[in-house]
Amino acid sequence: MEKIALDCRGHGKSDKPEVLNSSLTQKETLAANKALEHFDFRSNLPKITAKTLVISGKYDGLNSPAEGKLCAALIPNATFIEMQHSGHVPMLEERALLSSIIDEFLEE
């Protein structure tokens, strides 16, 4: 079965690239992506009352930093962080930095 990397269209690096592989065929992946095309909760974001941290990877081809900034702008009391050396999985691509950012956010 063909495996397709679902990371960020070739951008970013991971020390565990196997995490980015999918057992879906290309046809199944395209169908899954099509199903998500109209999955949009942005109109509900202003209702979030919790302090929120929105994180995007600079090279994320699935959820761009522009989309992350937009989401953060729609959430009252949100903070936006763009990870400079990440794609879609900063928890693998910039693990230590991401952990420190989250720790700092939670300590505030």
The angle formed by the CA atoms of residues 3, 88 and 6, to the nearest 5 degrees, is 15
Instruction: Give Cβ neighbours of residue 105 (< 8 Å, ≥ 6 apart).
Output: 53, 79
Between residues 45 and 25, the one the model is more confident about: 45
> Which one, of 33, 20, 23, 28, lies nearest residue 1 by Cα?
23
What residue spans define the domains of the chain?
A: 4-107
Note the pLDDT tens digit of each residue in 94-108: 999 999 999 999 998
Q: What CA–CA distance (Å, rounded) separates 27 from 59?
A: 24
Measure the CA–CA gap between 75 and 72, rounded to whole angstroms. Answer: 5
Looking at domain 4-107, its CATH superfamily turns out to be Alpha/Beta hydrolase fold, catalytic domain (3.40.50.1820)
The most confident of the ranges 2-6, 9-13, 14-18 is 14-18
